[in-house]
Structure 1
Amino acid sequence: MIPFTKAHACGNDFLIVTEEAAAGRDWAELARQLCARNTGVGADGVEFFAWTNQSGPGAREGRIRLHNADGSVAEISGNGTRCVAAWMAEAAGALPGDTLEIETDAGLRICHVNSVNREKGFTVDVTTGMGVPEFTARTVTIPGGVQIEGVIVSTGNPHFVILVDNADFSVDGQGWQSIGQQICGHPDFPYQINVEFVRILNPGEIEIRIFERGVGPTSSSGTGTSASATAAIALHGGTSPLRVLAPGGGQTVAWNGPGTELQLTGPASLIARGEAWG
């Protein structure tokens, strides 16, 4: 049996499984099995966790390795990291003002606990340092010779951000899901790329849609939110702090521009615990 905790951040859901519980297993296959919506527990990915500070029940340092729902490895998920922060906060008895340190394949992420709510389950509001984003304009040609202009943004993992000016997020008459799938698996990106579609509502607020590699359309993405905000602030007149609205809810990005670290704030909730046959 594989013990797990299920958590979500703005509807972007993850399973947290300790490395000890997954010892001797093929993590990619285990992720595919557990994440299956109809035959497994169901999730967008599995965060495999190990404590790195063994000082006792108050330990607040850990390491995670992320496998997407299709079993592929991802460097980091902003929402997944925040879900792990919620799990650590409960385990450590963390309070507002406390800090959690999480090592990811994209580097160390420092998570500051802003609030803790135990009224219905366990929910935290967390601000996470997401590193210094890098960005560059890029044009991608998809089948039919259609050229899609966007911005490649690195937030520890790769994103292609497309600015749209319509409420349905379509591009060149095609639905955003179709465009996202074509760009995600485009030969220009041999390891695939996350794709975001950004609609600017006003200088302080944008709305996005997300096509995530290894998953497909998702209700939210922390790194996608960060990448979208980077493009909006750097190139399209957005202001910081910037509210970013996704189908699963809103998050807030504070960023002072190129060369500075981006800060992402949003909620994460623990929603279930159980055991699965593995």
Structure 2
Amino acid sequence: MVPFVKAHACGNDFLILDEHLAGRRHAELARKLCARNTSIGADGIEFLERRTDGTLFLRLFNADGSEAELSGNGTRCVAAWLAASEGLRDVALGTHGGVRTCHVVKADDPLYLIESEMGVPRVMPRTIEVPDVGNVAGAMVNVGNPHFVIFVETEDFAAHGLRWQELGARISTSPLFPHGTNVEFVRVLSPGKIAFRIYERGCGPTTSSGTGTCASSAAAMALRGTERELIAAAEGGEQRTVWPSADAAMLLTGPAEIICRGEAAGL
């Protein structure tokens, strides 16, 4: 039996497991436990390691078993769990994309509002060539993990004659990105608000993404002249980003909710 916690941030759901239970089975556990129809179901697993020096470290494995650098929403889910289980209001969580510091703004168990420091985004305009599509203009954005942001005008987020899900899948696995990339389709609604859709590397379309929110916001601020404080709306809800200047860390504020605790059998 493997103990787990399940939480979500704007519908982007994660399992939280102790690292010591994984052994070398991280990818296997992710594929099995994240299966929607035959197991618990989730977009990924956050493996939480408590190191001997007192620090905390997260390893994120996507539903397909691939490992990613970090997840903004997943990190926030872990912070919510640590607030619920240990009363922590401020916590630094190490990831392969850097340390992310989380502060609990409001606690109404099982729902938490959390502000996370997400590092300094790097934005680089780039046009890529997609087979059978042609040139696709966008921006490569790094917020600890890779993103390709495309600005669209269509209400359904379609681009280049394709549904965003289809174009996102093609770009995410393109040889242009040897390690894959997350893909965002962004509409600027006003100087203070954007809407976006996300095709996540390793799990496909998701209702939200913390790093996707940051990447979309950073691209809009840097390339579309929006305000430095934005509301970013995804299918799962809204989050707020603040990026004071190009050399400052971006702050991301959004909800995280504990869904359940349990034990997974047959592993």
Q: TM-score normalised to the size of structure 2?
A: 0.97
Counterpart in the other structure of 1:232: 220
Pair 1:48-2:47 in alignment: yes
Pair 1:104-2:95 in alignment: yes
User: Residue type of the partner of 1:26?
Assistant: R
User: Residue type of the partner of 1:109?
Assistant: R
CA contact (8 A) 1:233 1:257 kept: no
Q: Which residue of 43, 58, 62 maps to 1:64?
A: 58
1:122-155 CA distance string (max 9 Å, x none): 1111110000011101111112251110000000
- Aligned equivalents of 1:53, 1:117: Cα separation in 2: 31
Q: Structure 2 unaligned segments of length 5 or more: list them.
A: none
CA contact (8 A) 1:17 1:49 kept: yes
Shift of 1:111: 0.4
1:186-265 to 2 correspondences below 5 Å:
186-265=174-253
Shift of 1:25: 4.3
Pair 1:90-2:87 in alignment: no
Shift of 1:54: 7.5
Counterpart in the other structure of 2:142: 154
CA contact (8 A) 2:149 2:183 kept: yes
Q: Structure 1 unaligned segments of length 5 or more: list them.
A: 56-60
Shift of 1:51: 2.2
Q: 1:37 to 1:16 in 2, by over 3 A?
A: same
- Aligned equivalents of 1:16, 1:53: Cα separation in 2: 20
Q: How many residues align?
A: 266
CA contact (8 A) 2:133 2:160 kept: no
What is the percentage of aligned positions where both structures have the same residue?
52
Q: Which moved more, 1:224-233 or 1:84-93?
A: 84-93
RMSD: 1.2
CA contact (8 A) 1:164 1:171 kept: yes
1:221-249 CA distance string (max 9 Å, x none): 00000000000011102112100000000
- Aligned equivalents of 1:105, 1:227: Cα separation in 2: 17
Q: Which of structure 1's runs of 4+ aligned residues deviate more than 3 A?
A: 52-55
- Aligned equivalents of 1:185, 1:150: Cα separation in 2: 16
1:86-132 CA distance string (max 9 Å, x none): 011112213xxx311111111111101100002xxx11111100000
Shift of 1:204: 0.3
- Aligned equivalents of 2:180, 2:24: Cα separation in 1: 26
